[in-house]
Every structure is written in structure tokens, then in C-alpha cells.
Structure 1
């Protein structure tokens, strides 16, 4: 299917109509969204979060029929708030999962047989966020400061450790406050001097609330791999062609979003409950901040970065055992 605004909006209109929502001005002459043919391989794609515009590439691949055209019948499944990150994937309730490579490496170090088969975010999405007028300008400026992060886990924690390492610092050189997911309130009330947060989440929310901020992102050579497409080694060995088709269709979805973000916001409304008015404006701002994270949208896994990440995480005592990063990520399934 040719990627044009007509086809994107046609898919949005068809989906919104099917869910009883208002159509988005779809062109009646645009081609209908392909549907899976009977007998197509069935796959369930999991998301580690509630419905959100950050998953727009996969909504687009589903809505525009890229999965169907690839001969796949794909179900999208969002996780609940207390659900284990890799639990459904390991239990066979999901076939693929959109999640971070560093967390997958932790799971592999604990004995899970999981594999990253494509990179979604080429840039690590977590940064140190400070007020615009802050005198914190470089990682070295963090000595003696008070920084807030949700806790000693996940991408926010990993990124903080990486930023500190780049300046030759450790958490002993500053005060780290565990603030839960209250970054906006903590920075707004000056409870801390900076917070760890996502470029396409907390940084966007702070700006939208009228708090001008700056971000200190990870160094380009930082040894952390971000959001990717993950599966089990069992599926990769059992059905490589199906997996390869899925990856190719998902990358089409990323490119469709990059080509026309506004149309991607429209079609995502069928997947995200209540995305109207101010919520739609928020989604648009979030997607604008997300698109640069896709990089060249090639899906390529930087295997050298993965090896460096294994060394970094082991040195930071973030892994439960030794792990060979070359067995946890691959480019073998890219188109």
C-alpha cells in the first residue's frame, strides 16, 4: 500500500467508524483497509503500557493493513498496571513485546529465553530534566545536587547511572530522591533540582504546564539500548519467516508515522480511549517528541552497543548473572 495522507486518513475513518466514533474526514475513494486472510498466522503483540500515542507505529501498521498484507493476523494487547513486563511473553500469551533492551537484558541474565529482533528507538529516550534557568549544564554539575527518580529500577535509573558515569561520578556524589512517578510535581515545587524522565513524556508534560525545561541526554556512546521489538527464542527458531514478516510490517508502520504525524494521531484515536480535545493536543505533542527517537527507522540493532551495555550493567550490579549480549539481540530478522 502506498503511504499517502489519503490512505492514512481512510484507515482512521474506517477504524473510528467501526468503533462508533466520529470519522476523520476519510476520502471515500481511498482503498479499504486490508484484513487478514483465513488461516493467516496469528500473533499477539504486547505493549508494556496503557494505550498511548507512543505506540502509534503499531497502530498504523494494524490500521493500514501492513500486518494483513504481510499475511499476518495481529492482535494488539496493552498491559495492565500491575502486570509483569515479560510475564505474558514468557507464558505464551504474547508472541512479541514492545519493551526496552536494557530490561530484556536483565531478564535474560535471570534465565529468560528472550531476544530483541529490531530497534524501535535508536536514541535512548530518558534524560535529566532541569528548569531552564538551572545552572546544571553538564553531568559534572550534578556533584552535590539533589536529583529525583522513580526508584532504583528501569530506564530512569539506568540513564541516571550512565549520565553519572560519563562524568566520572557515582550516586555517592549527589543526593538521589526516590519520588515515584511524580517528576512533574517534584520539579515544579523545587523539591529536587532535576528529575529523570522521558523526552516524550515528562519533558513534554512540564513544557505543556508552563515550566520551561532543558534536558541533558545521554552521551551518544552511552551503553544503553532502548525500546525494541522482543520475542522468545522459541518463536525465532520455530517460525523465522513469520517473524521476519512481522518486523518488516512494523517498520512500515514507523515510516508511516514519520511521513504523516498528523494522520497518525487521527488513526490512533481508535486505539486510545478518550483521545479528544486537550488529550489529542497532548498526543500530538508527545508524538512530535517521539519521532526523533526513531532515528532512521531501519530497525537495526547496534550489537556493539549491546555488548557494551552488558558490561556496563554488570559493572553497575544490574544483572543477576553473566549474559552473552550476542545471544540476546540480532539483526537476522530485518528486511
Structure 2
């Protein structure tokens, strides 16, 4: 999916987050206007990559008035190329961000009190991608091979751990190469035998470039990781419950609108994503949107933001066992369905 930026943590960040939680609440809480009518809360939502059709639910929710109908008027903010995933949230420049549930647990292990308040993706988007003519036909076939990953952080890294466990392998059984965001070049030039990528991003890019690939799922069932969610801080959620409910409702309304009318989503996205109207860019964006819709919906095609407690528990166990968190993180305060209708 969305390229994940380097995870940052540490004592200074925790302090900044605590300060941000206090500072931002009053700025975004609805207040009364001189006429006595309540003004809408104006939180900032962090979108963790350059403008892209993968964020079309937010574009549609803003452009079609779904956020204001829900009772909020947010600002959409795309992250910079070298910006940390939770940097702006910690600094009080954002009140919400889109990030993986697994990234939330890792942040909480560094004392960042984040909470997921709605699902954005209903399934985990990471896959193992190999050339279509590769002899690697199962995850077990990765043994002894070179596997490219952007870095040892974020969803790609977490997803690789799941794939290796599924295959009965350990990191020592493969050669892991950190390739940054050069997956396409690394695989096509045979620098690596497989890459860890996103089903609605990397796999689509290969297809658009005319390079045939095959995607291998990470697990033989439900992946023990939680995908992209709507994230805020525990302080902001406690002090601004109406705003949190409104942002979640507006986002889910945007997802439903995109799923129901992808062509409209493309039209709206053209005003947010530079260059998307060009023929080649439009074809790529439409392919990305088509590949993303299954991630937004359940197996029955419905949109639902509710988070599964059992899956969060399984994820906490898995991440602790694999050393992805220093110790097991209690998942209970890391997510909430309280703010969903």
C-alpha cells in the first residue's frame, strides 16, 4: 500500500506526544460562534504518503461534504518524504493519522499512547511478490533465496515475519536485503528473488510496467496482524469524543462512496492528485483503486470500521514472540470501537 516512513520513538517523542495531547485538544474542540451556533471541529488528518488514489475515501468525504455532514471539518495533510510516521501526531500538527495496527502496538511499546478508532483496511495488504516464471511457488520456496524489503521496520518487515513463520522458516533461512523503495528495479534486474510489497501498490506497478509477477499470501488464513486503521492519541480521543466519532463516520462514508462509485472517486481524486488526469497515470490509478477496494471491504463486500479484539490479541502475541516489540504490549487500550456508530 502506502509507503511507510521510518518508525521513530524514544523518550523525547513520548514527552512531545504528552504535550501535544494537551495542546491540541482545545484547538479542535467545537466551540460556540457569536451567533450561538456551534462551529465544527477542525482536526488535521495525516495521510502518510504523497497524494494517491489510495486516499480517495478522504478526498471524496471532503469534496462531497461527508465530513461536514458527520459534524467535523478536517484538514487533510500529506506527509513529507522523510517524515516519521507519528512525528506530526506527536508534535500536535495532526490529531489523526492513517497507520497499521501493528505500528500502533510498536509505538505503544515506546510509550506513545496511540489508539486505533476505526479500521481503514479490512485485510492486511502485504504479499510476497516473485516473477511469474520464478521457481518459487510457495513460501517454503523462499529458503536460501534473496528477499528484498524496504527496511527492517513497518508493515513490510512485519509481513515478512508472518511469511517466514507460515513457511516454517526463520530470517536466517533467507538472505534479507534492505532495498528501500526500489522494489520494481530490484526484482526486474534480479537483484533479489522476491520482494515484500503491497497488493494494491507494488503488484499493480509491476503489471502496469508489463512485468508479470505472482503474489504469495503471507498466511494460510487470517494474517496475525492488523492492517491500516484510523489512529489518534488516547488524550485527544478522551477529550474530543464527538470529533473522533465524526471523523470515523466521515471516513467510512467516504469508503462506502468509493466502493459504490469508483468512477466518481477517480473524478474527485483528479483534483487532489497532481497529474492523475494524464492517460498513463489515470490507467495506473484506476488499477490501484480496483486493487484497493477489496481491502476496504469484508468478504461480503460491506464496509465496517469495527476492530476485532481477538485479532489484536493474536497480533500482540505474535509481535512479542518475534521480537517486534520489546515485551508483549497489552492490546486492550490500543484500539476502541466506542467511536463507531
Return the TM-score normalized by structure 1.
0.86
- Alignment of 1:318 with 2:324, yes or no, is yes
Unaligned runs of 5+ in 1: 1-36
CA deviation after TM superposition for structure 1 residue 38, in Å = 6.9
Give 1:297 deviation, angstroms: 1.7
**Partner of 1:208 in structure 2?**
208
Aligned match of 1:327: 333
Give the 4+ runs in structure 1 shifted more than 3 A.
none
* Aligned positions of 1:55-70 closer than 5 A: 55-70=55-70
* Deviation of 1:241 (Å): 2.1
- In the other structure, the counterpart of 1:42 is 42
Partner of 2:247: 246
SS in 2 for 1:49: coil
* 1:290 maps to which of 280, 289, 292: 292
Alignment pair present for 1:87 and 2:108: no
Residues 303 and 330 of structure 1 are in contact (CA less than 8 Å); yes or no, is this contact kept in structure 2? no
Report the RMSD for the aligned CA atoms in angstroms: 1.3
Secondary structure of the 1:73 match is coil
Map Cα deviations across residues 42-88 of structure 1 (whole Å, 9 max, x no partner).
11111111111110011111111001112211110111011121111
For residues 272 and 222 of structure 1, the distance between their equivalents in structure 2, rounded to whole angstroms, comes to 31
**In structure 2, C-alpha distance between the alignment counterparts of 1:222 and 1:285, rounded to whole Å:** 24
Q: Distance between the aligned counterparts of 1:245 and 1:180, measured in 2?
A: 36
Q: What does residue 122 of structure 1 align with?
A: 122
- For normalisation by structure 2, the TM-score amounts to 0.85
Q: Quote the residue 1:186 is aligned against.
A: 186
Residue by residue over 1:226-247, the C-alpha shift from the partner in whole angstroms, topping out at 9 and shown as x without a partner, is 1010001011111212211221
Cα distance in 2, alignment partners of residues 40 and 87 from structure 1: 25
For 1:222 and 1:131, locate their aligned partners in 2 and report how far apart those are by CA, in whole Å.
23
Structure 1 residue matching 2:276: 3-state secondary structure:
coil
- 1:4: which partner in 2? none
Q: Which residue does 2:276 correspond to in 1? A: 275
The answer for the alignment partner of 1:171 in structure 2 is 171
Unaligned runs of 5+ in 2: 1-36
Contact kept, 8 Å, 1:186 with 1:192, in 2: the verdict is yes
Q: Please name the residue that 2:14 is paired with.
A: none
Is the contact between residue 319 and residue 328 of structure 2 (CA under 8 Å) also seen in structure 1?
Answer: no
- 8 Å contact kept, 2:117–2:336: yes
